[in-house]
Structure 1
């Protein structure tokens, strides 16, 4: 579920969906904006699987747990800053 396996392709694994989310997060945005951006990017790739919203949310939870995603003061999604 988190990592790709023999039965789960890379574009369905949560780490792959998380990469799609981080690719879209070039600026602070709402969850809806990120969802629309990820769906648009995945639709442009013909080999990409359909992404249900619950997998999108699980991938965001994984990114948050890994410290790669955060919320700013306005409640918008942002890439977490790396701390030395």
Structure 2
């Protein structure tokens, strides 16, 4: 599920969908806005394998558990960690 398997194509695995979600978060967005933008992006980029809302939420769970996103005042925000302090 997290990575591609025999039954889950590379463009539907949770890490790939998570990466696609991160591309939609150039600015803070609500979960609904991120979902709408992801569906639009997948359609525009010929990713026709279906991704349900449940799969989208699982991808958000993976991103959150990896520390890649946070929820601030009902907005999804990409968590930026610099390798070294400036």
Verify same fold: TM over 0.5: yes
Q: State the match for 2:10 in structure 1.
A: 10
C-alpha RMSD over aligned residues: 1.2
Instruction: Provide the TM-score with structure 2 as the length reference.
Output: 0.89
CA distance in 1: counterparts of 2:70 and 2:64, whole angstroms:
6
CA distance in 1: counterparts of 2:3 and 2:44, whole angstroms:
23
Q: State the match for 1:70 in structure 2.
A: 70
Structure 1, unaligned runs of 5 or more: none
SS of corresponding position for 1:71: strand
Structure 2, unaligned runs of 5 or more: none
SS of corresponding position for 1:41: helix
Moved more, 1-10 or 51-60: 1-10
Instruction: Provide the TM-score with structure 1 as the length reference.
Output: 0.91
